[in-house]
Structure 1
Amino acid sequence: MANALSAVDKLNKFLSQASAALVLLLVLTLTYEVIARYLLQSPTIWAYDTSYMLTSLFVILTVAHLLQRGEHVRVDVLSHYLPPRLAAGLEALLYLLLFFPFLYILLSVMPEHVAQSWRIGERHTAGVWLPPIYPFKTWIMVGMFLLGLQALVQFLRALGVVLKGDQA
């Protein structure tokens, strides 16, 4: 079991680190747009869509690793003062009551929504470029699945602390 938990950790860490290249691509895209818009007086029609898609891909590939590292925003006013086993029990309970139900609802509707987007060749209609939106929706769904896997790992570790008193 420890190997499976470690594999999820390693996968999410790898994806998070690999996505750093997207930040460089984002900076290059925005730099090009600024130069084209303000120096050449010829703005692009693709930079806005490209920038939010690159940003979303970076964020969604990073969010599970941030959960693993405990770097999400947390309200730990109570758990900070609790003994480790009780704090872990509270964390496990909150995963069960808040996180997993939300994730279940989200992931239960996303596959059909994403499949429909692929079937119709959905395009983003906010601008004139009309880029395909189905890859965007796909990586959001994949990222939420990876976040769910990491949350399951964190839940099992918290449960291990509750049951055994040590890290699982």
Structure 2
Amino acid sequence: MQRFGKLVSLLILPLIVGIVYSSLKSYIYNETPIWTFEVSLFLYGSFFMLGSAYCHLQKKHVAVDVLSHYLPPKWKRILAIFAEAVVLFVALTIIWVSVPGAWRSTLMRERSTHQTPFNPEVWWYRWIIPVSCALISWQAFKDMLALILGRPEKTGGEAS
């Protein structure tokens, strides 16, 4: 997951290039390319969703630890197990809900709803949600198992 997360982070580079190109063309020629809106939407959505599992691995997500600050270590661990169980439940629920839509989209080779002349196929983009949730659920499961077994919590992406 470590290498995959770093690879996904590189999606920001073509996103920057596309936005800068679009901005310069709009500023200089007063004409925006028709493809830049959707391409930037696809790149940022993929970057955000696929990068979320890497963020979970690195423990860089937002966590409200007001309650756990006052708890003894045993209850901190129980609270962490509960939090990972909630993440796992939500991710699995999203997979359950999103896979049928992604499958239907694939079968019909769905195209963009933005009605532009670019009109790209978007069925592949529908699979980003269940794939990213599968990665998040895998990471949450591993973290929860480590907490249950009493292994020290790995931070900073030491393993995976």
Query: Paired residue for 2:19?
Result: 30
| Equivalent residues of 2:110, 2:121 under 8 A apart | yes
Q: Are residue 92 (structure 1) and residue 97 (structure 2) matched?
A: no
Query: Paired residue for 1:107?
Result: 95
Please state how far the C-alpha of 1:79 moved relative to its aligned partner.
Answer: 1.2
Query: Paired residue for 2:9?
Result: 20
Unaligned runs of 5+ in 2: 154-160
Please state how far the C-alpha of 1:63 moved relative to its aligned partner.
Answer: 0.8
CA distance in 1, matches of 2:6, 2:83: 28
SS of equivalent residue, structure 1 residue 42: coil
1:28-85 CA distance string (max 9 Å, x none): 0011101111102221111011111101111122111111222111111111232333
CA distance in 2, matches of 1:65, 1:155: 16
* Alpha-carbon RMSD: 1.6
CA distance in 2, matches of 1:160, 1:19: 31
CA distance in 1, matches of 2:134, 2:88: 11
CA distance in 2, matches of 1:24, 1:104: 30
| Equivalent residues of 1:26, 1:51 under 8 A apart | yes
| Equivalent residues of 1:123, 1:133 under 8 A apart | yes
Equivalences, count: 152
| Equivalent residues of 1:123, 1:131 under 8 A apart | yes
**TM norm structure 2:** 0.87
Worse overlay, 80-89 or 116-125:
80-89
Task: List aligned pairs for 1:18-167, cutoff 5 A.
Answer: 18-96=7-85, 98-128=86-116, 129-161=118-150, 166-167=151-152
Identity of aligned residues (%): 24
Unaligned runs of 5+ in 1: 1-10
| Equivalent residues of 1:160, 1:167 under 8 A apart | no
Structure 1 counterpart of 2:98, one-letter code: M
Structure 2 counterpart of 1:47, one-letter code: T
SS of equivalent residue, structure 1 residue 144: helix
Query: Paired residue for 1:8?
Result: none
Structure 1 counterpart of 2:71, one-letter code: L
Structure 1 counterpart of 2:138, one-letter code: L
| Equivalent residues of 1:66, 1:72 under 8 A apart | yes
